[in-house]
Amino acid sequence: MSIAVAILGLALLIVLHEAGHFLAARLCGMRVERFSIGFGNALVSFKRGDTIYQIAPIPLGGFVQVTGMNPHEEFDHDDPFVYPNRPRWMRFLVLVAGPAANYLTAMVIGFVVLLTYGQYTGTTTVDEVVQGSAAQAVGLLPGDVVAGVGGMPVSKPADVTTVVRGSAGSAIEVKITRNGAPVTLQITPRKDATSGLYMIGVRFGQARARGPFLDAVKEAVVMPIALSGMLLKNIWDLITRKIEGGLTGPLGIAKEMAGAAKQGVLKFLEIIILISVALGVFNLLPLPGLDGGRIFFVGINSIRRRDMNPAIETKIHMVGIMVLLMLLVVVTFNDIKGIFFKKMG
């Protein structure tokens, strides 16, 4: 059941992405030939106006066919309603609308989560004790609740940080609650070699708490932007090999979503938000074959005040699409290999 939910969730995000392109194309007066939920031959279809709406058997997303948008597509070059013959700002809007739909989806789901479960807020409950730290040396444990530091009561992580950084390395009294019983420890903060700041070496946990309605609105808008920055930084760190790891394909994403679904509705919605933003970020990358690559060419053409030779642009996008397909094959193979070896122990 969790795998089915994950596949449907991922497919829905892709369909919403394509729906963004579809709605923008229709609003801009472009001819849309087909809107498909799923891939393959149509199981059910009907035609309204110039557009065929269909449901196909492979539930891994969908596609929208805007006349003149795809490489090597045959169309009437004199038709004013095909993609290449519409104004550049309309083409730009259609291209941006897909990723924008992903961002809007993340905002809406985020808003629902914030209203239902509340916003994350820092607690003074110890979530992790850093190996070799001052906190570990005096026996601070995960699950301990810090109630006071340096003779001052604390209610949030920032209160602890302020006292620790102001200690200048002197021992401070830390009052904690452990299994309901009060415990007092003496901890001597240590200077971090990288930042030069005094630390005791703990990471505090987080909890959700409901806040004002307007705060939920603000957080729902800001959250996808913050996640985008984090994802772009991770991509750059992977490229520059500052962190170890690799890309994950649809199979790996579905596996992660299935794992989140097993943990409950909240975890599943959180990963839906993350993946929705990731789809938006990925598609905005200025790579041939992606929305971002097409946006790049629209921008260049706007600066030059004339369109690039369509044949040349088509070849560039075709090369990009081939590279992306090969990359998809590689990451999918790695996902399958990882799952196989995990099953084999």
How far is 43 from 57, CA to CA, in rounded Å?
Answer: 7
How far is 7 from 260, CA to CA, in rounded Å?
Answer: 12
How far is 101 from 94, CA to CA, in rounded Å?
Answer: 11
pLDDT string in tens for the chain (345-residue length): 677 777 778 888 888 999 999 999 999 999 999 999 888 888 999 999 889 999 988 776 788 999 888 766 777 878 899 988 899 999 999 999 999 999 999 999 999 999 999 888 888 999 999 999 999 999 999 999 999 998 889 988 999 999 999 988 899 999 999 998 999 999 999 998 888 899 999 999 888 888 888 989 999 999 999 999 988 888 888 778 776 666 676 667 777 888 888 888 888 999 999 999 999 999 999 988 889 999 999 999 888 888 887 778 888 888 888 887 787 777 766 666 665 555 555
How far is 150 from 197, CA to CA, in rounded Å?
Answer: 17
How far is 77 from 240, CA to CA, in rounded Å?
Answer: 44
Q: Is 270 a catalytic residue?
A: no
What are the structure tokens assigned to 112, written together?
């629902």
DSSP state of 303: H
Residues, the chain: 345
Q: Is 216 exposed, middle or buried (0-12, 13-18, 19+ CB in 10 A)?
A: buried
How far is 319 from 143, CA to CA, in rounded Å?
Answer: 53
**Best CA proximity match to 185, nearest among 227, 133, 228:** 133
Range 120-209: architecture per CATH: Roll (2.30)
Cross-strand bridge partners of residue 44: 55
Which residue ranges make up each domain of the chain?
A: 2-117+242-343, 120-209
**Best CA proximity match to 301, nearest among 46, 33, 92:** 92
The neighbour count for residue 47, using CB atoms within 10 Å, is: 10
The neighbour count for residue 301, using CB atoms within 10 Å, is: 16
**CA distance readout (Å), 217 to 33, 72, 113, 146, 208:** 37, 44, 11, 31, 16
Q: Which of 18, 33, 74, 270 is catalytic?
A: 18
**Best CA proximity match to 302, nearest among 60, 1, 88:** 88
pTM for the whole structure = 0.77
**What's the confidence (pLDDT) of residue 84?**
86
Q: What is the arrangement of strands in the sheet containing 58-66, beginning at the earlier edge strand?
A: 44-48, 51-55, 32-39, 58-66
Tell me if 236 sits within 8 A of 159, measured CB to CB.
no
**What's the confidence (pLDDT) of residue 281?**
93
Instruction: Identify each DSSP E strand in the chain by its residue range.
Output: 32-39, 44-48, 51-55, 58-66, 119-129, 145-149, 152-153, 172-178, 181-187, 190-191, 198-199, 202-209
How far is 37 from 56, CA to CA, in rounded Å?
Answer: 6
How far is 295 from 286, CA to CA, in rounded Å?
Answer: 7
